[in-house]
Structure 1
């Protein structure tokens, strides 16, 4: 990496989540202080955005490597990536339709953090846009630290003691293909995580459940689990904790998977193409307020290649 740096501008996009970073060219090598500024902004705002950054795969990988080690593109769908770039996951509109096999699957997109069914979910994801429809397809993020802080003190104390099981599933109401189901059955991925995760860098507490992967809370009745998760999910989705990002060609979103959840677009019903590429970075095992780590119930850790 280089030593001479330009001044970066960090521009907040909402009250609790999201900042746009300007004044940097991600196609070149970055200086140490530029990397530090980006990381500090990520920790504060949970997701950072860049515009007009037309990276190729190699430049995407180099930028990602400043912050961590890339994982395989996906824990289940290893046949999807380009063999020359096994850590880059292509997100195409037609590929999503083929995986879910029914347009009703779009209606079941939910808030989630990436791959929390693994015992060590990715610490971050870096998504770049190449081809986009002229309208629709926005992505939203929510600050899970703000969501925890929004709970009353008695509910926080209860949440601090709870653990929940996360599983990789197609999602309620979706109609997956037979190939999708075979892959899920062949590589089950199930873990028990603390409901509240202590961020390993900032020490902040974040709600660490999400509708996309969390199945139930351990040690309570199904009725209690549904009610508690409903409360936590509602808090995560409160509009004041969120930011909405309108993609353009050359846009990049970089989010902290430990303290943010995101909502993929569900309005991709036009005939326009949409093509993005994602790299996820290896994460550590979550730890709760009581010091207990997450536990793998089925499947292997999601480790860097």
Structure 2
């Protein structure tokens, strides 16, 4: 691209942004905000990158509407906030786009028989906490969206920590837990998903309370889907305490629910949130296709 064309593109971008200044609209008391007045298809001015980052750190997940990005534009947007990881450490990536993970209605992770016992925290998780350095953030883009159903929920793990009693905070501050990426209940030995997970096992130990590297906030780092037991505890002790904490972090006042539309984007801080993917879509005949990018994170640090 010539210098003249670059100048024209930058001028058009500045003009576009000056017409509709970026605004942040909180969606609940503790988590979630919608950001308007920004076009994510083009490189963002430094001030807008900073504003989006500040909103992300404050509200933990931010949402954008009417952002019909290509795969290339999705990747370019993500790179303004960090280095993308490979699409998924176990299930790979979209052909030709190693940064992208396809979140389709019938992706491998959903193909298993049987049904696990359902509890209030079932399905809630923080992305890939079984990795040594779990992703810092995730950016999910909606492409094919059902006319109803398929909402995603997020919870604020910082607010959940702060709501614990002082004696319990004193206990959990010093604990560590083992995170493991395992096949879901009901997966058979011949299941393709189960075989993939077993061939690329991820197991890590992390602090139960994570100190956020940018804000210094303490988050209750207890991903229900991946945290399997507390280090040094008897099995019964571990299970009782974890179930108490899992039930606590998904309390409704810590959460926000997002209704997807084509062109919607959700950008969340994976260090301070857990989220719940929808299951009602399997009771509908509509297709659903999203694409996710995760950003390289650091090794969690405890209190």
TM-score, normalised to structure 1, is 0.89
CA deviation profile, 1:108-133 (whole Å, cap 9, x unmatched): 85110000000100000000000011
Question: Among residues 256, 260, 269, which one is paired with 1:247 in the alignment?
Answer: 260
Q: Superposed, which structure 2 residues align to 1:227-266 within 5 Å?
A: 227-266=240-279
Q: Superposed, which structure 2 residues align to 1:57-76 within 5 Å?
A: 57-76=71-90
> Within the alignment, does 1:273 sit opposite 2:287 as a pair?
yes
For residue 154 of structure 1, what is the aligned residue in structure 2? 167
Question: Among residues 106, 111, 126, which one is paired with 1:100 in the alignment?
Answer: 111
Q: 1:154 to 1:226 in 2, by over 3 A?
A: same
Distance 1:195 1:56 in 2: 38
Structure 1 contact 148–207 (Cα < 8 Å) conserved: yes
Question: Among residues 65, 70, 82, which one is paired with 1:51 in the alignment?
Answer: 65
For residue 136 of structure 2, what is the aligned residue in structure 1? 123
For residue 102 of structure 2, what is the aligned residue in structure 1? 90
Distance 2:302 2:235 in 1: 22
| Structure 2 counterpart SS, 1:158 | helix
Question: Among residues 139, 144, 147, which one is paired with 2:157 in the alignment?
Answer: 144
Alpha-carbon distance, 1:234 to partner: 1.1
Q: 1:275 to 1:224 in 2, by over 3 A?
A: same
* RMSD (CA atoms): 1.9
Segments of structure 1 that go 5 or more residues without pairing to the other structure are 290-305
Alpha-carbon distance, 1:178 to partner: 2.3
TM-score, normalised to structure 2, is 0.90
Distance 1:144 1:72 in 2: 25
Alpha-carbon distance, 1:96 to partner: 4.7
| Structure 1 counterpart SS, 2:213 | coil
Larger radius of gyration: 2
Distance 1:149 1:123 in 2: 21
| Structure 2 counterpart SS, 1:161 | coil
For residue 167 of structure 1, what is the aligned residue in structure 2? 180
Segments of structure 2 that go 5 or more residues without pairing to the other structure are 1-8
| Structure 1 counterpart SS, 2:138 | strand
